[in-house]
Amino acid sequence: MAAAPHRGSPPDSTLEVFGDAVAAAAARHLALSPAASMQELAEAAGVSRATLFRRFPSRAALVAELCEAAAEAFARAVEEAAPADGPPPQALARVLDALGRLAAVVGLLGLQPLQEHVEASLLARTAATEEALRDLVRRGQESGDFRVEVDPEWVLTMLTWLLVGAADGVRLGRLTAGSAQRHLAATLTAALHRPGGPPRHP
């Protein structure tokens, strides 16, 4: 079944995330058509297939570079959201806002096949970022803001697949990028926040 037309551009600048116009166009097209061929990606980028192959020697190399850029954007977004600063609920809101802006384009890149060494490199690159997110969850649990029964590892799993689901909802035309961002934040916030809030809060 053909995908529905794209309903709205992601708030985040793909050019800023992916570095140049050709890579950004390829990333946008892969978000709409994850199985796209190099010919289709070249057409989406407005270049010839030969030009695209000069820029990326293979589809695997293209996907690897885009995924590396997405991992860098993920790490940068979390770092700039300062998850260690301030009350945990506000820190969580900043993180989810920052990551939600990335979802529509970078979410589906997580489903692209990668060579083992590329995947290992990406996991190593994001390890510190994931630990910062675990620490945020633990900090909120210790403060009484977050549910203690929700495992930080489960939070990371939810975040990963909600980013993928948000991107797919936009790809299929079922969600706008903005509504996907709002629903992602609302879902994780509801899963983590303790009913009634903390017993005390400065």
DSSP 44-105: HHTS-HHHHHHHSSSHHHHHHHHHHHHHHHHHHHHHHH-TTSS-HHHHHHHHHHHHHHHHHH
CA distances from 2 to 43, 44, 98 (A): 18, 17, 30
Q: Is the pLDDT of residue 103 over 70?
A: yes
pTM for this model (two decimals): 0.84
The pLDDT, as a whole number, for residue 12 is 42
Higher per-residue pLDDT: 32 or 29: 29
Closest by Cα among 96, 109, 31, 99 to 70: 109
Tokens found for residue 26: 């390829």
Tokens found for residue 34: 């994850």
pLDDT tens per residue across span 36-56: 999 999 999 999 999 999 999
pLDDT band per the 50, 70, 90 thresholds, residue 8: very low
Rounded Cα–Cα distance for residues 97 and 94 (Å): 5
CA distances from 144 to 3, 83, 115, 200 (A): 44, 17, 42, 8
Q: What is the mean pLDDT of the chain?
A: 88
Rounded Cα–Cα distance for residues 71 and 102 (Å): 11
Q: Which CATH class is domain 60-192?
A: mainly alpha
The pLDDT, as a whole number, for residue 201 is 42
What residue spans define the domains of the chain?
60-192
In angstroms and rounded to an integer, the radius of gyration of the C-alpha atoms of the chain is 18
Token match 């994780």: residue?
188
pLDDT tens per residue across span 133-165: 999 999 999 999 999 999 999 999 999 999 999
